[in-house]
Amino acid sequence: MEWWKKAVVYQIYPMSFKDSNHDGMGDLGGILEKVDYLKELGVDIVWMTPVYESPMDDNGYDISDYYKINPLFGTMEQFDELLEALHQRGIRLIMDLVVNHTSDEHEWFRQARKDRNSKYHDFYIWKDKPITDQQSIFSGSVWEYNEETDEYYYHLFSRRQPDLNWDNPEVRKEVYRLINWWLDKGIDGFRMDVIDLIGKIPEECILTSEKSHKYLQEMYRECFEGREVFTVGETSYATPVSAPLYSAPERKELTMVFGFEHLGLEEVKGNGKWDLKKLDVNELKKVFAVWQNALHEKGWNSLFWSNHDQPRIVSRMGDDGKYRKESAKMLGMILHGMQGTPYIYQGEEIGMTNVKFPLEDYKDVETINMVKEKQEAGWSMDKIMQGIYAKGRDNARTPMQWSAQEYGGFSDHEPWIRMNPNYEIVNVEEAEADNNSIFHFYQKLIHLRKEWEIISTGDFTLLFEDDRNLFAYKREADGERLTVIANFTAGEVQCGLPDEIKPGRGQILLSNYDRDSVGKKMTLRPYESFMYYEETEK
């Protein structure tokens, strides 16, 4: 089996992970201080969001030089040191590859916007006038006027993130050059930002097309063939049909996809993420089941609840008050029991929660632009704030809570973004000291994946599909069965066992309470979940 089928990834958002140089902003030196923490948790791969040179309009997803480290984060020497420190501990490092767009301060764009005849002009997408009314993901038209050439350029994200023209072979050559440069340096792969969008057709408002596959195959030939490289594509527009195309090994595109359908269920369909709707658990279960089955033996999926763009999962789908620990563990268990590669976003392993800040304390360009747009559209301030509390990306970007000290042990300087005020209770120091903590539970989840092959290989069937209180499924492989049963509510729930599952025949591998056996009839406590393994007749 490929090594990454048993691997677990830890995502670091450097700005908010650990500050080492006393400026309130996390940095490479801070990550270096915490490599033993990552080892202790047991993860195999670290994905670090962008640390390249950038004016930070979108916190580094706007790159102005792909070959340089942003001085805010440190130096190339520190980067090399970090890479080595991780490798010494058997942890791989993957970098964020942001090549759908650059910063407007990238040299290519500076040249492009000055002169229609520059060789870099065709690195971007230009029209004499806005040819569509397509809206950018960060609000406003995708077409932005450029005075010097009297044209409009295309940007799917902020106006300071012009999209690269992937149809230009010179662009692709430059991208492959930078990928190979980083691989030659010894990094282990890439998380590819919005990579399914490289096949867009702006003239038709089409975001992704067959071209995305064609370019990824070319990238594979030019950069990955013959190397051991781990690639995960952020593929928001992938479907259960296209996901295997991206990730089937014989197609030579990506190691795995990273799709969001399970996190798009709490919004009024078609209205974007800010128009909130209550989660229907059965819908969530169904989405997981469809993806599990679509990729089984055909491709490979990422498993994640959180990242730097998503609210904290325990606030979102669990209970961040009374049952914070129980519900965070339950959510961890149902995800880590599935087929795919799990991703843990910094702080998830200690059950960090969402925040409610006054509007002026939010930093994210997406949130700031949205407020303006929704106010113009007549939304009440209350509705806007409810949207931010539930979905704002800054929920995930408050500093990592290391201890109960001032600024949560993240820094000794006021952080660039406010702390979550609960750091005195929710922090790593507390979690490490408590044998029953979420942290130790995540350690066990990571370990179980290594020990029990069925977690990586078994097929997937939902159990109690229509029961809104339960999230349960079984995984089956030759002569074995793994069953995960979770109470998805804050109340007690009665649960029987399907006939085929035999109490007494198997063993509980993990429980978030003290359950050590299963019965034909059980009362599950609030958010109780367990994982049961048994050998079956062949």
**Annotated active-site positions, please?**
193, 234
Judged by CB, which is closer to ligand NOJ: 19, or 309? 309
Judged by CB, which is closer to ligand NOJ: 73, or 402? 73
Contact assessment for residue 76 and residue 69, using Cβ atoms and an 8 Å cutoff: yes
CA 149 – CA 112 distance, rounded (Å): 9
β-strands 189-192, 151-154: how paired? unpaired
Residue of 309, 319, 394, 480 that binds ligand NOJ (CB under 6 A): 309
Residue nearest to ligand NOJ (CB): 61
- Exposed, middle or buried by CB within 10 Å (0-12, 13-18, 19+), for 218? middle
With CB under 6 A as the rule, give the number of residues binding ligand NOJ: 9
CA 350 – CA 333 distance, rounded (Å): 14
Residue of 27, 44, 53, 58 that binds ligand NOJ (CB under 6 A): 58
CA 216 – CA 289 distance, rounded (Å): 27
Judged by CB, which is closer to ligand NOJ: 309, or 348? 309
- Exposed, middle or buried by CB within 10 Å (0-12, 13-18, 19+), for 300? buried
**Nearest distance in Å: CB 27, ligand NOJ:** 19
**Nearest distance in Å: CB 301, ligand NOJ:** 17
Please report, as residue ranges, which positions from 379 to 398 form the binding site for ligand NOJ (by CB under 6 A).
none
**Nearest distance in Å: CB 308, ligand NOJ:** 6
Task: Give the Cβ contact number of residue 275 at 10 Å.
Answer: 16
- Exposed, middle or buried by CB within 10 Å (0-12, 13-18, 19+), for 488? buried
Judged by CB, which is closer to ligand NOJ: 149, or 367? 367
Contact assessment for residue 351 and residue 419, using Cβ atoms and an 8 Å cutoff: no
The torsion of the CA quartet 367, 368, 372, 377, rounded to 10 degrees, works out to: 0
**Nearest distance in Å: CB 483, ligand NOJ:** 34
CA 28 – CA 198 distance, rounded (Å): 30
Residues 6+ apart with CB under 8 A from 292: 301, 338, 339, 340, 460
CA 351 – CA 346 distance, rounded (Å): 10
**Nearest distance in Å: CB 21, ligand NOJ:** 24
* Measured CA angle at 306 (ends 303, 307), to 5 deg: 105
**Nearest distance in Å: CB 14, ligand NOJ:** 13
Residue 213's nearest CA partner among 172, 183, 242, 191 is 242
Judged by CB, which is closer to ligand NOJ: 44, or 309? 309
Please report, as residue ranges, which positions from 426 to 465 form the binding site for ligand NOJ (by CB under 6 A).
none
Judged by CB, which is closer to ligand NOJ: 45, or 98? 98
Judged by CB, which is closer to ligand NOJ: 192, or 455? 192
Q: Give the x/- contact pattern for ligand NOJ in 194-233, rule: CB under 6 A.
A: x---------------------------------------
CA 305 – CA 299 distance, rounded (Å): 20
Check binding of 182 to ligand NOJ (CB under 6 A).
Answer: no
Task: Give the Cβ contact number of residue 64 at 10 Å.
Answer: 20
Residue of 61, 288, 488, 533 that binds ligand NOJ (CB under 6 A): 61
Residue of 19, 193, 266, 528 that binds ligand NOJ (CB under 6 A): 193
**Nearest distance in Å: CB 18, ligand NOJ:** 20
Residues forming contacts to ligand NOJ in the complex (CB under 6 A) are 58, 61, 98, 157, 193-194, 234, 308-309
